[in-house]
Structure 1
Amino acid sequence: MDEILCDELIQETFRRLPPPSAESITLVSKRWLRLYRASQSSLSLTLSSRICTPSQLSSFLLHFRFLNSLSIVAVAETLTFSDQLFHAVADSCPNLRHLRFQSSPVSTLPLFNLSTRCPHLTSLSVSLSRPLFFPWIIGCRNLKHLSVTFSGSGSVSSSDEFEFQSQSNDFDYHLKLESLNLIGIKHDDQGLDFLWRICNNLKKLQLRSCGGIGTDTSESSFINCLKNIQEIELRSCRTILDQVLSQLTEISTSLQSLLVYDGGSTDGLRQFINKNKSNLQKLDLRLPLDLDNTHLLSMAEKLTGLSTLKLENCCLVTGEGLEAISISMGGFLEELSLVNCDVVEREAGLLSTMGQKLRKLKKLDLSYNDLLWDRELASMLISCSNLIELKLRGCSTLSNLTMLTICKRCKKLENLDVRDCDRIGANAVELLLLNSFRLRLVAVEAVKVSETARRWALNSFIEIIFH
């Protein structure tokens, strides 16, 4: 039979098999091993310098002729070894489109090699050593998504690098880069001005643990990358938050989504809300000590078109601010998250009032409000009949009564998360699975799913996610 089947038919069969069958396939014969490797377009590897050399990696990757997506996690003790691995990838995978390389940082030369050897590359995630030097990106003409983690203690580029980057002012680069994620910029880093200037088509910008945007960065260079921005995420970027928000209010009219986590500015955020010129659709904030009722009242007045509002660990807000939000956004808001916000527990009747205003709500996340009681949640669910997603993870005081309310009131529910809800038992989970006909996903502890519930979920195409 093996001799009758042609290579193409066997490979097509491989593609249709579930992932667990892969290990068995490769043991059948050398031919099947060769064909299986040749049929793979995606590959994930975990490497160590003790068990894999760059030449061995190169030889191995040559078996995967149609590989276009590669993820490598490598334990590399030295910069040289990391560079050699990177060279091996670039030389062996000419059709690569997506590369995620998690290792010790690489230097500049392997990146130039990658841009030459892999002309189709559209997504790259890598860690770079200092000093920073970005002209290699010019060769990546098709690159759309770039994620860079900065490592090392150096902060000054060489004179040759600075000379190149200063002369590059005379050139006009047009990159397709749409998404940029930078992690760990220091306040004294140089070499970033070039990157900001060539990111003129950027749609999404993510900054994490950044203490600056580059000492050599001119204001016009950074503003250049914000002109067409639609999404921006700032995580642990307290020192630059005011600067970024101020420039956004001045230049951006296309911003749709803003996320600020772990490090804000009370005045800077308030000014952004009041002066924002964009039609903001999504706001996601985790600012325990930098968000208060004045911000919520400003949102209620200025950001009435929000479709998504997410608040986490917000200790200083009260029911007054949330009620104002509900009244002003009731006609538009479709997704609401109040994660670990003790105002939900402090003020009785708040959820009921909000539910009466938020009739169009489709997604609700009240996770980790561990003093949220059944009656408070039920009073909100009575009004929110259009919910398709409900997350209650870590709400340890909720009981089986909540599951009964969900069965009765949430007829359109598709996704439910009740993990770490200690008082919800197996009988209530079974009741929900057997009586919620639109349900497609439930996250719950394995011990709370009976054999009857498992069979029903399997026959009803309901996915169950365990711890």
Structure 2
Amino acid sequence: MTSTEGNVRRNNIYISKMPNEMSGNQLWPHFSKFGKVVMVRIESDVSDEYQRAFISFRDTGAASRVLRKKFHTVNGFRLPVFPIDNWNQPAADNACYCWPSDGKLNKTTDIAMPLNGSNMLSLNDDCLEIICASLNLRDQVRFANVCERFREVFTMFSKREYKTLQLDSIRKLTLGEKRDFFRLTGNNIEHIIGNIPMEVQDRVIQCMAVHCPNVKKLCLDDIPIMPDCFTRLMSSMTKLEELTWCERYYHDEFTESLQHLTKLRSLSVCGGSVFFTGKNIRLLVNVRELKLFSCKNLDTTNLIDACKALKDLTSLDIRRCLHISEIFYSNLNIYCKNLEVLKMSYPNVAFARVALLPKLKQFELLDYVPTGILDYAIFDALVQHKAKQLEVLKIVAKNALNSQHITLISKLKQLKVLFLANNDAVTDCALRKLSKLRQLEELTIRGCAKATSRGLLDLFKNCGKLHYINVQFCKNITCEFVKEATFVLKAEKSKRKMPLQLLVYGSSINYFALSLCHEYLATKRESFFEIVFHNSNPYLGLDDGVDVYDTWEGDCWIDEEDNTFSSLDSSDDFYFPLSEQYDDDLE
């Protein structure tokens, strides 16, 4: 073949396994039979059994003739020959141009404008941009390579379209098209998300390093990246503000490569890397948000050093970091005087002193390995020290609360967000206690089987700021709540925040029952409600998608009536496909 992927003309080939006793001088005579050879380069390593040879021809026809045979015999040795990828072909800069049969590249200056004005170039830029927007990404890159004007149109289009780049969207592009894409759009990209296949990792990272100097957010996952590639990438992204790394091969050395990023404010390392101990976090003195979710080998001493060094740290996530010792929790209020958000797993040591954090506003406690009823100490401490300050409380612990916990929680008067999913302690009596939380805006009681419409209505009447309620899998929450809530919203229309968002998948509030509720239908035009029927979060944990309980081991919500997984039960009348996300459109 004359061309590689992406329409690149081949001039270069290589020999992957050439015996060490051979030299470049032995290759010249043989390959000169196919055309003019301009260069032969030999690469070898003392640890390798074979050498590698790279041969360049003056014209593409010669390389094409060589590649008609997979093996060539030179001086008695059988040598395998391959084309070099298009990245290393001399014609790679013209990768997306079309080559006519005569082998000469058409220049854009050769394009003839029809006298009748029917050529695309006669269209204004707005029309060309509409055409460009209708193309898939590969055709957009080719469109940009037609002529200088099309390139300018695509550049303007990309300033809006490609501020955020999903790496999956370029997966099917050839190497040359990937490079052209980054050349054209790189300066406009501010947010990169996704993963890079191993086979093209080095090339794509090279492109990102060269052409994407303005990236502010980088979220990479499932990438066992090489340290030198990571260092090269980070050295070029001097404007990076947020780095998220969801991969189990993150090393302590990677963190050291970030210390020159003076604008880095958020670092997230997730995925359970066994190579990460938190050793060099202390070097990132400008970081304010630190997420170390499921870092199983996080060392207590390194974490303490980091908290001491990061003076402006406002958010810390150490959920599923189960080997942190008591000394850290006992002195956290001294290390992190500016900490406002703390997310942690329930440890096997005393930790109530975290309630002494001077600026604590959000506290999330994850009991990943259920330990029974939670200790009262942390709740007593929160009531004593943070009753007038704590705004967000999320307790992710299945059936780990009782009525005494509820009583203590009801004393946190400034709570705006409360998450108490999957706890049988959340009864009507408990909801009436929680109705004392007059600042409450969001409530999640997902999977709380003993809560009923009556108890929820009593809470809703007393919490005038409440505008989000998650009652998914609460079988005792029925359309009666919607009916009665309608009267409350009518009476307090000028005071309440509208609409009231209800997540009802798995409850007894279903689409068909609502179609018979005249009170609800009468208020549809006034947008009192936004009812979400689909299962917005298939997990039973935090709203950000943490799979708190292993659903494969039976720790998920089960419909007691038919003993099947409710999320898979298509026979219930509340089930809807995902396409009906916000189907509050009953006719």
1:137 is aligned to 258
- Residues 361 and 384 in structure 1, CA contact (< 8 A), matched pair in contact too: no
- Give the alignment partner of residue 418 of structure 1, picking from 527, 530, 533: 533
User: Is 1:36 paired with 2:154?
Assistant: yes
Which one of 493, 514, 518 corresponds to residue 404 of structure 1? 518
- Say whether the 8 Å CA contact 2:420–2:444 is kept in structure 1: yes
Q: Give 3-state SS (helix, strand or coil) of 1:339's partner.
A: coil
Residue matched to 1:464? none
C-alpha deviation, 1:261, in angstroms: 3.6
Alpha-carbon contact 2:431-2:456 (below 8 Å) kept: no
Q: Does 1:231 align with 2:341?
A: yes
Quick one: distance in 2 between partners of 1:256 and 1:10?
Answer: 49
Q: Show the counterpart of 2:505.
A: 393
The superposition leaves residues 236-270 of structure 1 with CA deviations (integer Å, 9 ceiling, x where unpaired) of x2337853xx34212x2322222334437433542
Within-5 A mapping of 1:335-346: 335-345=442-452
- Aligned residue for 1:290, secondary structure, equals coil
Give the C-alpha shift of residue 25 in structure 1.
Answer: 5.1
1:372 corresponds to which of 477, 481, 506: 477
Residue 232 of structure 2 is aligned to residue 120 of structure 1:
no
- 2:434 paired with 1:325: yes
**In the alignment, which of 441, 456, 461 is matched to residue 356 of structure 1?**
461
Structure 1 residues 148 and 228: CA distance shift in structure 2, 3 A:
same
SS of residue in 1 equivalent to 2:307: helix
Q: Distance in 2 between matches of 1:407 and 1:343?
A: 28
Does residue 206 of structure 2 align to residue 99 of structure 1? no
**Counterparts in 2 of 1:325 and 1:224: CA distance versus 1, 3 Å:** same
Name the residue aligned to 1:299: 409
Q: Deviations over 1:111-143 (max 9, x none)?
A: 443442111111111236365243333211101
Structure 2 CA distance for aligned equivalents of residues 5 and 18 of structure 1: 12
Residues 28-63 of structure 1 deviation map (CA, whole Å, 9 limit, x = unaligned): 56243674256433221139999977x985565233
8 Å Cα contact 2:426-2:445 kept in structure 1: no
Equivalent pair of 1:187/1:213 in contact (CA under 8 Å): no
**Contact 1:400–1:423 (CA under 8 A) maintained in structure 2:** no
Structure 2 gaps, min length 5 = 1-118, 491-495, 536-569
In structure 1, C-alpha distance between the alignment counterparts of 2:328 and 2:408, rounded to whole Å: 32
Secondary structure of 1:416's match? strand
Residues 351 and 377, structure 1, Cα contact 8 Å, conserved in 2: no
Per-residue deviation, residues 133-156 of structure 1 (Å, max 9, x unmatched): 433332111012221125554477
**Residue of 258, 266, 269 corresponding to 2:375:** 266
Q: Distance in 2 between matches of 1:425 and 1:50?
A: 36
Tell me the alpha carbon deviations over residues 291-335 of structure 1, each in whole angstroms, 9 at most, x when there is no partner.
22111101222x112222232111223332221111x22x32232
Q: CA deviation at 1:279?
A: 0.6
- Partner of 2:384 in structure 1? 275
Count of aligned residue pairs for this structure pair: 405
- CA 1:36–1:49: 2 relative to 1, 3 Å: closer
- Counting only pairs closer than 5 Å after superposition, residues 429-448 of structure 1 correspond to structure 2 as 443-444=581-582
* Cα distance in 2 between the residues matched to 1:415 and 1:211: 39
Compared with structure 1, are the counterparts of its residues 363 and 284 closer, same or farther at alpha carbon in structure 2 (3 Å cutoff)? same
Question: For each residue in 1:62-105, what CA deviation from the matched residue of structure 2 results, as whole angstroms up to 9, or x when unmatched?
Answer: 3323222222323438xxx8677545533442222221121333
Matched AA of 1:256: K
* Contact map agreement 2:276 2:297 (CA 8 A) in 1: no
Q: Rg larger in 1 or in 2?
A: 2
Tell me the distance in 2 between the aligned counterparts of 1:18 and 1:242: 61
Is contact 2:383–2:408 with CA below 8 Å preserved after alignment? yes
Query: SS of the counterpart of 1:383?
Result: helix
**Does the CA contact (< 8 Å) of 1:289 and 1:314 recur in 2?**
yes
Moved more, 312-321 or 21-30: 21-30
1:61 and 2:182 are equivalent in the alignment: yes
Calculate the TM-score normalised by the size of structure 2: 0.58
Contact 1:307 1:333 in 2 (8 A): yes
Preserved CA contact (<8 Å) 2:183 2:211: yes
Given that residues 201 and 225 in structure 1 are in contact (C-alpha distance below 8 angstroms), is that contact kept between their aligned partners in structure 2?
no
Partners of 2:272 and 2:457 in 1: how far apart?
A: 49
- The structural deviation recorded for 1:10 is 5.6
Q: 1:43 is aligned with what amino acid?
A: L
Answering whether residue 346 of structure 2 is matched by residue 249 of structure 1, we say no
Tell whether 2:168 aligns with 1:46: yes
| Distance change in 2, residues 1:62/1:220 (3 Å) | farther
Assess if the C-alpha contact under 8 Å between 2:329 and 2:350 holds in 1.
Answer: no
Rounded Cα–Cα distance in structure 1 between residues aligned with 2:297 and 2:420 = 29
Q: Note the C-alpha offset of 1:417.
A: 1.0
Q: Does structure 2 retain, via aligned residues, the 8 Å contact 1:58–1:91?
A: no
8 A contact 1:344–1:351 mirrored in 2 = yes
Cα distance in 2 for partners of 1:405, 1:19 equals 45
Question: Alpha carbons of 1:82 and 1:196: their partners in 2 closer, same or farther (altered >3 Å)?
Answer: farther
Letter in 2 for 1:141: T
Separation in 1 of the partners of 2:256 and 2:332? Answer: 17
SS in 2 for 1:255: coil
Determine the structure 1 residue equivalent to 2:317: 206
Counterpart Cα distance in 1 of 2:134 and 2:451: 44
Which one has the bigger helix percentage?
1
After TM superposition, give the deviation of residue 390 of structure 1 in Å.
2.3
Deviations 1:221-250 (A, max 9, x none): 95566321222333xx2337853xx34212
Q: What TM-score, normalized to structure 1?
A: 0.70
| Residues 367 and 397, structure 2, Cα contact 8 Å, conserved in 1 | yes
Deviation at 1:108, TM superposition (A): 4.7
Amino acid at match of 1:368: F
CA distance in structure 1 between the partners assigned to 2:277 and 2:394 by the alignment? 35
2: CA distance, partners of 1:403 / 1:94: 56
Distance 1:156 1:68, change over 3 A: closer
Residue 322 of structure 1 aligns to which amino acid in structure 2? L
- Measured in 1, the distance between the counterparts of 2:297 and 2:523 equals 53
